[in-house]
A = this chain, B = another copy of it.
């Protein structure tokens, strides 16, 4: 098998936030496999095949990519952001583990990228300046009880919390439930940031507090950051001091 598979992330949106390493990997690929809207961001290359799929079929998409690589193609699996953060890299290794044993000897590598949390933080200042955690609110693949347990632990230990996948049409109520839970632990004055389309030309920030946070502000393209006890505003920025106090 002379094929290969590279898993890349195109970054948060703007082309200038995609790494040159990822750009080179895309240019070398014979086949691009990914969710349609991510592929649509990329310029077309002569002779390169595109295999666009719907959202929420990650494992099928991963198997398709592995089968192409096993057939000798040079495949790039395309995620947004960083491919290792709530994206395609884990799905590819799940498919390797449960699939054709020959896939285990394929040439597979991962190229890191700028994940949405980092782009969102940069838009507002430095809210991730202290210890932080990243939680996906999607309960498609884990229980809501697990998510609640992690939210509570993160709040009690005073992490800054970045929420991926805060809402979708199929899950409109979970972010509100998360805020309700967090209000039982954290102060109402805690800064909350809704950053939509972070790192894109059309990014939009709503800065508020935990007491006032309205979950309906968030959609699938929103990254939500909930501050630690030390997170504060200075002018138009929000930041978390590196230590206990500035």
Cross-chain contact B154 with A89 (CB below 8 angstroms): no
Chain A: interface residue total (CB-CB under 8 A)? 79
In Å, the complex CA distance between A169 and B86 comes to 35
When the two chains form the complex, which single residue of B86, B90, B112, B143 contacts A114, counting CB atoms closer than 8 Å? B112
In Å, the complex CA distance between A109 and B96 comes to 41
A236 to chain B, nearest CB (A): 9
Cross-chain contact B90 with A239 (CB below 8 angstroms): yes
Interface residues in A138-193 (C-beta closer than 8 Å to B): 140-143, 146, 149-150, 152-154, 156-159
Contacts of A15 in B (CB 8 A): 20
A199 at the interface (CB under 8 A from B): yes
Q: Which residue of chain B has the shortest Cβ distance to A123 in the bound complex?
A: B110
Contacts of A113 in B (CB 8 A): 114, 118
Known contacts A112-B114, A141-B242; A93/B234 CB under 8 A: yes
Top 7 A-B residue pairs of the complex, sorted by shortest distance between their CB atoms: A141-B243, A90-B129, A153-B157, A133-B133, A89-B126, A93-B239, A110-B122
Q: List 21 A-B contacts (CB under 8 A).
A: A11-B19, A17-B20, A58-B242, A82-B114, A84-B122, A85-B118, A89-B129, A90-B129, A94-B246, A96-B234, A96-B237, A110-B121, A110-B123, A112-B114, A112-B119, A132-B134, A133-B159, A140-B243, A141-B244, A142-B244, A153-B159
Cross-chain contact B21 with A16 (CB below 8 angstroms): yes
In Å, the complex CA distance between A244 and B82 comes to 21
Q: What residues make up the interface of A, taking CB atoms closer than 8 Å to B?
A: 11-12, 14-21, 24, 58, 82-86, 89-94, 96-98, 104-105, 108-115, 118-119, 121-123, 125-136, 140-143, 146, 149-150, 152-154, 156-159, 199, 232, 234-235, 237, 239-244, 246
When the two chains form the complex, which single residue of B109, B110, B153, B241 contacts A94, counting CB atoms closer than 8 Å? B241
Contacts of A115 in B (CB 8 A): 118
Known contacts A90-B239, A94-B242, A239-B93; A128/B16 CB under 8 A: no
A234 to chain B, nearest CB (A): 4
Contacts of A141 in B (CB 8 A): 241-244
A83 to chain B, nearest CB (A): 8
A31 to chain B, nearest CB (A): 20
